[in-house]
Amino acid sequence: MNELFIAARALVDGDERRELGFLVERGRFTKIGDAKTLMLEAAHRGTPTRRFPEDRLLVPGFINGHSHAYQVLLRGWADDWSFDKWRSDALYRVVPQLTPDDIYWVFVFAFSEMLAAGITTVVEFFYLNGAGNDHAEAAIRAARETGIRLVFARTWMDAAYAPDAYRETIDEARSRSEALLDRHPDINFCVAPHSLHAASPAMIEAAAAFAAEYDCMLHVHVAEAAYEGEATLREHGATPIRFLDRLGALNERCVAVHAIYIDDEEKELLAERGARVIHNPMTNQYLGDGICDISSLRALGVPLGLGTDADVKPSAIDEMRAASLLQKIARSDGAAFGARAAFDMATASGARALRIDAGRLEEGAFADFVVLDARAIDPWAPAVNALVYRGEDAWVQGAFVGGRRVGGREPSAAASAARGRLRGIAERLVP
C-alpha cells in the first residue's frame, strides 16, 4: 500500500529538518521533499496521508548488527559470571535444550522488545543448527510475524567441544544453508562461521567460498577476548585478522564482530580489504571483554555498526550512548567519538556495514523509520545529541518497516502471549 507520511520534524543525515513529506511505495521511500508540495500531489492522486505533529520526531529505523535473541533467557540469573562460566554453564547448557516451538516464542518476545526500542532491522547470529533447519525456520517465522526486518546469519560450527545442538560437518552446514536460501529467497541470508576457535580453518574457508558463490555476507566473531589472539598465534602462527585474511575470508563480504584485540596493522588490513566491523559495547561491558577502537577504525573508513549481542537489554539508544562514552573514556578525550558518529553507527553506517538499503531517510531506501516523542528534547539542543546522550527507549512511539507500523509503546498480542510462554520455558530450563 502506498502512503504519504508528513513529519513536522525529522532527522536526515543527523540534521533536523522540518515539514518534510515521505512518499512510500512498495515498501520504499520514492519521494522526499516539501510537505505542502507532496500533500497536494497526494490529494490529486488519492494517496492516503498520515501526519506526525511537532511533538514527534521521525528518525531512521535503528540497525541491530549482531544479536543472539535466545540469550534473553540467560539474563537475570547468569549476569555476574565470568565469560567462561557464562558460556559453559548458561549458553552451552540451557540454549541447546530449546525446542523449535521454544525458539519461536523466545524470538517473538525478543524481536518485539527490539521493535519497541526502535530497532527495525536485526542480524540474528543463529547457533541451533546441529539437528537441521527446524529451529532456524522457527526463528524466521517469528521475524515474519513480528514484522522486523531480518538478516539471518546462519552459524557454521564444527568444534569438538561445541554442544551437539550447535555442531555440524561442513557438508551439513552447506546443504542446510542452501535449503534455507531456496526456501526463503526474500530473507537476507548470511553465512556465519562462528569464530576462529569454534569453526575449523577448513570450515571458514568453505564458508568464504559459499559467501562468494551466493554473494552473501560472512559474519564471524573475531578478537573478542585476548586469549583468542594468543591461541590463534600459537596454533596458526598469525593473529586473528591476519589468519582470516590467510583463509580468504577477509574481504568486502566480511563482517567482523567485536574486533577488540587487534593491532594497528590489523586495523589497516580491515580497511584495505573492505571488511566491516560490528561493535557491541553494552555486551562487551557486561562480559568484561574490552573496548573496540572504533575511533581508529572510523578514521580508516571501515564501515561500522552496532549490535546488542547478548540482548541483556536490546536497546540501540543504549548502544549509541555506550559507543560514544567508552571512546571518550578510553582516549581521555571528550571529543573522541561524538553523538553524530554514534547515531551513524546505529543507522546509515550500520546499514552499509550489512550491505542493506536501510538506516537512512533517503529516496530508494527501505521505508524503515521510527517515530519518537520529541517533548523531552530541549529546544536549544541538537536532536541527535539529545537522543544519544539522554534518549530512552520510552521515547519510541512507533516503529515502521517498509512503511507499515509493526511496533510501538503498546505490546502486541503476540508479544504479550510470548512473555507468558517464556515464563514456562524458563521454569523448565533455567537452573
pLDDT on residue 124: 99
Q: Is pLDDT at 150 greater than 90 in this prediction?
A: yes
pLDDT in tens, 359-415: 999 999 999 999 999 999 999 999 999 999 999 999 999 999 999 999 987 778 888
pLDDT on residue 405: 97
pLDDT on residue 408: 84
pLDDT on residue 409: 78
pLDDT on residue 348: 99
CATH architecture of 62-354: Alpha-Beta Barrel (3.20)
User: Could you give the CA distance from residue 196 to residue 86 in angstroms, rounded to a whole number?
Assistant: 19
The model's confidence at residue 130, banded by pLDDT at 50, 70 and 90, is: very high
pLDDT on residue 69: 98
pLDDT on residue 33: 98
pLDDT on residue 1: 77
pLDDT in tens, 6-16: 999 999 999 99
Stretch 243-272: mean pLDDT: 99
Domains 3-60+359-408 and 62-354 share a fold: no
pLDDT on residue 84: 86
Domain spanning 3-60+359-408 has what CATH number?
A: 2.30.40.10
Whole-number percent of the chain with pLDDT over 90: 94
pLDDT on residue 304: 99
Q: Is pLDDT at 288 greater than 80 in this prediction?
A: yes
pLDDT on residue 375: 96
pLDDT on residue 82: 87
pLDDT on residue 266: 98
Q: Domain extents for the chain?
A: 3-60+359-408, 62-354
pLDDT in tens, 41-99: 999 999 999 999 999 999 999 999 999 999 999 999 999 998 889 889 999 999 999 99
pLDDT on residue 413: 83
pLDDT in tens, 185-214: 999 999 999 999 999 999 999 999 999 999
pLDDT on residue 415: 85
